Amino acid sequence: MTRRDTHWIVGPGALGRLIGLRLATRAAPSPAVILIGRRRLPVEQSLVTPRGETLEAAVNTATLKALPAIPPRVVHLTTKAYAAEEAHLALAPHLPVGTPLVLWQNGFGCQPRLSRRHDGPVLCATTTEGAYLDDKAAGDSGVVHAGHGETLVGALDGRHAELADELAATLSAAGLPARSVADIRQRLWQKLAVNAAINPLVARFRIRNGQLRDRPFRPMVETIIAEVAAILAAEGITPPGVTGVEANASAEAIEGWRALVWRVVEGTAGNRASMLQDVLAGRPTEHDAILGPLLAAAAAHRLAAPHLTELADRLRERELARSRNPC
Ligand code: KPL
């Protein structure tokens, strides 16, 4: 194994393992993959494809405290948003200068900060691939690739297009269709808008995404969409398919956000959203990365966002209660 083709995957949750195992089981030449977590994972890992096939792979594993000797060609940071900067801090001193970093986090919190701090090219990725860890089926050694999606990659400052093209080609060849884009900031905010309209509500009421279509939840979603649309208009973020600065404040833009959110609710009706899964498992949630940037933008533009504020307050209180009474 050489540096040339080695991908370090830091944060081997469902997404990290999906990327790692897709790369490792890709037709030759498959890149070498090292899964790096807080604890060492079993070497033998399996991936259940959306068609139900099981792909097996032996991957190298390591921990943040005992990093591999082989330097990476690229590092994928796939931790939850709230853990990304701490993981980067542990990792950065051990990376050769100029090592490319790919950030796979939800929201828009750590991406600008790490893009400034990292000593090398930084790409951001956003994906609609569906994956979960199935501990019952595979213990600690498997991930289920639940549904195909699309991955978009790019740098916040629009640089490193060649690297983004190369990464998109590598991911696509591994069965994760990917495209390099010049407007990843827009794309990250678009996903954040969807997450903000769905995740805090389903986590608060402990419901599946599809239940948002019914009363009493539907009007709550509409209220959140209206607040999010106003904030994003002020930030110059347009919904997919709607372009132009003037379009931002228009009825067309609000309809664009509504269409996007309800399309995702429909498409993921049976899902328990990631924030609900975190709440049910007693884990921290990504509320800071999702609601934090929206509330900061609302404050900067002097816009009221009472419903988003209330949802953020509740999630923050839950976090405080969790840290006082860890189970
Ligand atoms: O991305 C998601 C999540 O669960 O975090 C959505 C789109 C809300 C699907 O469940």
For the CA atoms of 88, 89, 90, 92, the dihedral, rounded to the nearest 10 degrees, stands at: 70
Residue that finishes a domain, picked among 182, 210, 241: 182
Which residue lies with its CA nearest to atom 10 of ligand 1? 273
Query: Is 145 found in the same domain as 191?
Result: no
Q: Is the CB of 127 under 6 A from ligand 1?
A: no
pLDDT at 302 over 50: yes
Task: Retrieve residue 113's tokens.
Answer: 């900060």
Q: Which residue has the tokens 């678009």?
A: 190
Element (H, E) at 142: strand 142-147
In sequence order, the 6+-apart residues with CB closer than 8 A to the CB of 183 are 154
Across the range 176-200, mean pLDDT stands at: 97
- Tens-digit pLDDT profile for residues 99-121: 999 999 999 999 999 999 999 99
Mean pLDDT of 181-206: 97
Same domain? For 35 and 95 the reply is yes
Question: Which of 182, 206, 227 represents a domain boundary (last residue)?
Answer: 182
**Average model confidence (pLDDT) for the chain?**
92
Domains in the chain, number: 2
Question: Model confidence at 6, in pLDDT bands (50, 70, 90)?
Answer: very high
162 and 217 together in one domain: no
The model's pTM? 0.93
d(CA 218, CA 212) in angstroms, rounded, equals: 5
Q: Which residue of 105, 129, 211, 268 sits with most ligand 1 atoms within 8 Å of its CB, as the best mutation to test the pocket?
A: 268
Mutation test residue for ligand 1: of 190, 209, 285, the one with most atoms within 8 Å of CB? 209
**pLDDT digits 0-9 by tens, 64-112:** 999 999 899 999 999 999 999 999 999 999 999 999 999 999 999 999 9
pLDDT of residue 139: 64
By the 8 A CB rule, do 182 and 152 touch? no
Ligand 1 binding pocket includes 186 (Cβ within 6 Å): no
- The C-alpha atoms of residue 248 and residue 256 are separated, in whole angstroms, by 10
Same-domain check for residues 262 and 314 = yes
> Is the C-beta atom of 126 inside 6 A of ligand 1?
no
Domain that holds residue 42: 3-182
Q: What is the CATH number of the domain that holds 272?
A: 1.10.1040.10
Q: How far apart are CA 158 and CA 169, in angstroms?
A: 18
* CB-based contact 232:258 (threshold 8 Å): no
Domain end point (choices 157, 182, 207): 182
Q: Is the CB of 285 under 6 A from ligand 1?
A: no
C-alpha of residue 187 to centroid of ligand 1, in Å = 15
Tell me 119's DSSP state. Answer: S
Q: Would the pLDDT of 296 be above 90?
A: yes
CATH number where 79 lies: 3.40.50.720
Taking Cα atoms as reference points, which of 253, 265, 204 lies closest to residue 228? 253
Task: In whole angstroms, give the CA distance from residue 324 to residue 237.
Answer: 38
Do residues 133 and 113 share a domain?
yes
276 CA: nearest ligand 1 atom: 4
pLDDT score recorded for residue 320? 87
pLDDT category, 1, cuts 50, 70, 90? very low
Do 151 and 64 share a domain, yes or no? yes
C-alpha of residue 303 to centroid of ligand 1, in Å: 26
User: Does pLDDT of 278 surpass 70?
Assistant: yes
Whether residues 166 and 193 share a domain: the answer is no
Reported as a pLDDT band with limits 50, 70 and 90, residue 146 is confident
pLDDT at 327 over 90: no
Atom of ligand 1 nearest to the CA of 271: 10
Count Cα atoms within 13 angstroms, Cβ side, for 111.
Answer: 26
Six token digits for residue 98: 């100029």
> Which of 23-37, 172-186, 238-252, 310-324 has the lowest average pLDDT?
238-252
160 plus 29 within the same structural domain: yes
Q: What's the rounded Cα separation, in Å, for the pair 209 and 22?
A: 27
In sequence order, the 6+-apart residues with CB closer than 8 A to the CB of 326 are none
Of these residues, 65, 80, 136, 191, which one is catalytic? 191
80 tagged catalytic = no
| DSSP tag of 182 | S
Residue 244 predicted with pLDDT over 70: no
Question: Do 133 and 199 fall within a single domain?
Answer: no
* Locus of tokens 């096939």: 53
Each residue's pLDDT tens digit, 8-51: 999 999 999 999 999 999 867 778 999 999 999 999 999 999 99
264 pocket-lining for ligand 1 (C-beta < 6 Å)? yes
One domain, residues 43 and 164: yes
Do 47 and 168 sit in the same domain of this protein?
yes
CA of 272 to the centre of ligand 1 (A): 8
Contact between 45 and 57 under an 8 Å Cβ cutoff? The reply is: yes
How close is the Cα of 260 to the center of ligand 1, in Å? 13
Ligand 1 midpoint to CA 195 (Å): 6
Cβ(232) to ligand 1 under 6 A?
Answer: no
Instruction: Please name the residue whose Cα sits nearest to atom 5 of ligand 1.
Output: 274
Instruction: Write the residue with the smallest CA distance to atom 2 of ligand 1.
Output: 273
**Does the pLDDT at position 245 exceed 70?**
no
Ligand 1 pocket check for 190: Cβ under 6 Å: no
Q: From CA 11, how far away is CA 270, in angstroms rounded?
A: 26
Considering the domain architecture, whether residues 229 and 268 belong to the same structural domain is answered as yes
- 135 phi, psi to nearest 5 deg: -65, -35
- Kindly state the average pLDDT of the residues 284-293: 96
Q: Is the pLDDT of residue 271 over 80?
A: yes
The residue whose CA has the least distance to atom 4 of ligand 1 is: 273
> What is the average per-residue pLDDT within 235-244?
85
